[in-house]
Amino acid sequence: MNRQLRFLSPVTLRPHEETVASRLGEVIDLLLREQAWTRPICIEEESLCVMDGHHRRLAAIHLGLTKVPVVAFRYFEVRLGTWKPGLQHEPGEVIDRARLGRLLPPKTTRHLFPPFEAQAVPLLRLIGGASSPPKRVAAQSG
Q: Looking at the predicted structure, is the pLDDT value of residue 2 above 80?
A: no
Q: Which of 1, 85, 100, 98 is nearest to 52 (CA)?
A: 98
Contact 36, 64 (CB under 8 A): no
pTM listed for this prediction: 0.87
Q: Strand, helix or coil at 80?
A: strand
pLDDT higher than threshold 70 for residue 137: no
| pLDDT, tens digit, 9 for 90 and up, residues 102-121 | 999 999 999 999 999 888 99
Q: Write the CA distances from 65 to 57, 62, 101, 127, integer angstroms.
A: 10, 8, 22, 5
pLDDT tens, residue by residue, 27-71: 999 999 999 999 999 999 999 999 999 999 999 999 999 999 999
Q: What is residue 141's DSSP assignment? A: P
pLDDT for res 138: 45
| Cβ atoms of residues 98 and 131 within 8 Å | no
Domains defined for the chain, CATH in brackets? 6-126 (3.90.1530.10)
- Between CA 89 and CA 30 the distance in angstroms is 31
% of residues, the chain, pLDDT over 90: 76
* CA-to-CA separations, 50 to 62, 90, 121, 130, in angstroms, rounded: 17, 15, 19, 26
